[in-house]
Chain A
Amino acid sequence: MNTRPRPEALTLLRHGSAIAVADLAAVYTWRTWLFGWLVRMLSQVVFFTLIGRLTGGDERFLVTGNALMVCAVEATMVVASSAWERSLGTLPLLVAAPARLAWTFVVRSLQWVISGTATSLVALFALGPVFGLRWTAGSACAAVPLVLLTSLGTYCVGLALAAFVADRPGLRNVVSNVAYLGMMAVCGVQVPVHYWPPPVRAVAQALPLTHELDALRGVLDGAPPVHVLLQALLGAVTGAGWLAVAVLGFGWVARRGRRTGAIEFGT
């Protein structure tokens, strides 16, 4: 019988978030975030949006997609930061701790959600108007939760992938890069989802970014609120689905790690 006391979810969230914030402070100073990271991401948005000028494409469509995409790029960094635990040799300690491994990982990399949301909002509100986006107080207020939902949803996609690369931490960068570029390709960021063949469209429907982006474009184009809410909800539901996959995946990692010892130091 398991007699270990289970920590409260809020305690876990508090401790995990403290680690996330400490990690964020270790990775960036305000100067490196502003002049390094933000400049890089805004350049990415401009790079892809200007291609629309070259091809005669819709710049509003591109700037909206690419500005929202930057939070997805950052959220998928959870694949790499989860793998750090293995290379730091702290995974066995986390497995031995009373808290469930899955929930530890869920809260441990939330720094990417915070930073990603901020980056996307700067891109939408600062770069968007340069490429034709017109914000009202109402649309700007609606955009904030949609960006946060996108960050959280793609974070859950990244978490699920992180569980599956726990045994191969050397592949963390391959998996996270392929994941966000795959989303960039199929979720309607650069070209509409219907550009792709039906099987690819079906994959896109399983990704939160597709629905949240549709909702955001709906907000900007004055679509009926029901449509926006429905898409936002669909994004949240798919994100929750990925979270469930991640929780199951990390549970499997913990059980397998205890049995085989495959949670020791590794790179």
Chain B
Amino acid sequence: MNAFRAGLGLQAALLRRSPGDLHILATVPLYTLILLAMTDAPHRPGLAPDAIIAPTLMALWSTALFTAGDLIDRDRYNGTLEPTVAAPAGLAQVVAGRISAVTATGLLAFAEAWAVGRCFGVHLTVRHPLPLVLGILATSLTTACTAAVIAALLVLTRGGRPYQNSLSFPLYLLSGIVVPIGELPHWLHPVSRLVYLSWSADLLRSAFRAGPPRDLPVQLLALGLLAAAGLACAGVLLRRVLARVRVLGTLGHA
């Protein structure tokens, strides 16, 4: 637990000193504004929650992809992975703490989007607070687990880095965070359901709808399963990363 806390503290300090790493948070107000303007259609009221939830999920995914995903590789580039591995604390706990700090910072996007909505004249009513809280927690957990997979994968597969940037809009499209999955071709629906953002979007949207959130247990179960799968995958990949860089002698600056 100490290692987790140390990782959390370290990453918080790093983020405070490198505001450029939080550039994704600077995009949230603009994405919110754009989506609110686009969904400001008199004949289709009720789209405002979607326009506010979508940028927050986009920001969470982007921080996972770019900031958290780069953690291990950047340590290696800076030459700090070697002493981190040599330290008595487990690397997995340190990385988990650091990724949690990044994910927690990404949650600021919710407040940003909400504030932009208020300025735009959108007053969202939370009709079901429990799904909202559970949705945020489950989404954060799954984001952190997925970020750990990305962080390990980017070290293992050097050829994967050019595709890092490509995992943004294709996934936003697939997960139906603004346009429902129903608008996509039928054969894509099962693929969409493998993207955790699709469950998160449905869950968070249900908190603002009048009807009871009947799918809450299924949505939470799906997010839990995807988080568990991500965690297991990240554990295996992290062990492979350590074994590989030790054998190849590329643990240090690379």
Residue of A nearest to B18 (CB): A170
Chain B neighbourhood of A185, CB < 8 A: 30, 33-34, 37
Residue of B nearest to A54 (CB): B179
CA distance A36 to B161 in the complex (A): 10
Asked if A46 is at the interface (CB within 8 A of a chain B CB), the reply is yes
Asked if A9 is at the interface (CB within 8 A of a chain B CB), the reply is no
Do B41 and A55 touch (CB < 8 A)?
yes
Asked if B196 is at the interface (CB within 8 A of a chain A CB), the reply is no
Do A178 and B26 touch (CB < 8 A)?
yes
Q: A57-B41, A181-B30, A185-B30 are in contact. Are A40 and B162 (CB under 8 A)?
A: no
CA distance A35 to B179 in the complex (A): 23
Asked if A261 is at the interface (CB within 8 A of a chain B CB), the reply is no
Q: A residues 154-195 with Cβ under 8 Å of B?
A: 170-174, 177-178, 181-182, 184-185, 190-191, 195
> Chain A, interface size: which category?
35 or more
Do B165 and A40 touch (CB < 8 A)?
yes
Asked if A22 is at the interface (CB within 8 A of a chain B CB), the reply is no
Residue of B nearest to A189 (CB): B34
Which of B91-99, B166-174, B202-210 participates in binding chain A?
A: B166-174
Do B169 and A44 touch (CB < 8 A)?
yes
A contacts with B: majority SS: helix
Interface size on B, residues (CB 8 A): 34
Residue of B nearest to A178 (CB): B26
Asked if A90 is at the interface (CB within 8 A of a chain B CB), the reply is no
Do B179 and A51 touch (CB < 8 A)?
yes
Asked if B19 is at the interface (CB within 8 A of a chain A CB), the reply is yes
Chain B neighbourhood of A47, CB < 8 A: 169, 172-173, 178-179
Do A177 and B27 touch (CB < 8 A)?
yes
Do A39 and B39 touch (CB < 8 A)?
no
Do B23 and A174 touch (CB < 8 A)?
yes
Least Cβ distance of A67 to chain B in Å?
14
Asked if B158 is at the interface (CB within 8 A of a chain A CB), the reply is no
Chain B neighbourhood of A177, CB < 8 A: 23-24, 26-27
Do A170 and B47 touch (CB < 8 A)?
no
Do A181 and B34 touch (CB < 8 A)?
yes
| 29 residue pairs bridging A and B, Cβ less than 8 Å apart | A35-B166, A36-B163, A36-B165, A36-B166, A39-B166, A40-B165, A40-B166, A40-B168, A43-B170, A47-B169, A47-B178, A54-B47, A54-B178, A55-B38, A55-B41, A55-B47, A56-B41, A56-B44, A174-B23, A174-B26, A178-B30, A181-B30, A182-B30, A184-B30, A185-B30, A185-B34, A185-B37, A190-B38, A191-B40
